[in-house]
Structures are given as C-alpha cells and as structure tokens.
Amino acid sequence: MSGTSTNSPTPAPGSIAVGAPVHQSRQRWGAGSLVDDGMVANQRPERRVRSIGWWLRDNNGRVIVAQWPSPALWVWIVAALLTWTAALAAHEVAVTGIGRGALIVWALDELVRGVNPFRRLLGAAVLAVQLARFA
C-alpha cells in the first residue's frame, strides 16, 4: 500500500484545497510559445473589475482595444469625411443625419455584442452622447 487514503474528500469545483497554491495561473498560447497570463483563480469579482486585463480581454484571453470598422462605422466615417470636406454641401443635413444614425447603430452593436467590457462601455458612452445631441 502506498499509505495514502482513498477516502479523502475532493474539493468542490472552483474551490482551493488546503495546501494548494493561491495563484493558479492559466496558460494560453501566444506569440508562438506558452504564456502565463497571471490570472488568479480565486480572485474576487470586485478585484477583477478593477483590473485592466478584465476590461480589455475578450472571452479567448486576447487584449482587444480596436478592431476593423464594422459597416455602420464605415458609413459614419464616410459621412464625416463628406461633411468635413463639404463635398455635398447642399445635402449636409442629410449626410450628417445618416452619419449620426450609423453611429447610433454602431454604438448599439457595441453595447450588445462588444467583445469586452471596455468596448461595451464605449458603445454605451457613444450612444449616450448621440442621444443627448437629439435633445
């Protein structure tokens, strides 16, 4: 016999067994090698909210601040350029309205489907500013 007891209780999922290290890091693949991302397994939710990583990481652990523009954002960019260059000065009100509408669609999309909390908060802020302009 090996001297170990087979009747020892197993810890519940998400809990830490007595004597286990407090820092249980996850490992992920990045830049061609295995990288320790330094996540703390038993970190309280309020501490995670205060960490930069929680705000900027997506569900796969990638840091995402900016992405390729969505179609709605492209419409806003084109409308902003047309307004700025006065290319369609006779239709400035319509172009501005189309641009603001596209920006509201983009903000709603980010608010609902943003890849991380930062992007969802950005969508909420842009939406609030655009709606305040209507008032």
| Distances from the Cα of 33 to the Cα of 27, 30, 56, 86, angstroms | 10, 6, 21, 51
Residue (of 55, 23, 54, 59) closest to 41 by Cα position: 23
Q: What confidence score (pLDDT) does residue 126 get? A: 97
Is residue 10 pLDDT above 70, yes or no? Answer: no
Q: What percentage of the chain has pLDDT greater than the value 90?
A: 46
Determine the pLDDT at residue 110: 96
Full-model pTM: 0.63
Q: Which strand (E) or helix (H) includes residue 30? A: strand 27-30
Which tokens go with 50? 């205060």
What's the average model confidence in pLDDT over 47-56?
A: 79
**Looking at residue 86, what is its pLDDT?**
86
Cβ neighbours for 56, distance < 8 A, ≥ 6 positions apart: 63, 64, 65, 116, 118
Q: What is the DSSP string of 41-69?
A: TT--HHHHHTSHHHHHB-TTS-B-S--PP
- The neighbouring-strand residues paired with 29 are 34
pLDDT number for residue 1: 52
* The two structure tokens encoding residue 3: 């001297």
Residue 18: pLDDT over 90? no
For residues 134 and 132, give the distance between their C-alpha atoms in angstroms, rounded to a whole number.
5
Dihedral (C-alpha) 10, 11, 17, 18: value to the nearest 10 degrees? -70
**The predicted structure's pLDDT at residue 129:** 97
pLDDT digits (tens, 9 = 90+) for 30-42: 444 444 444 545 5
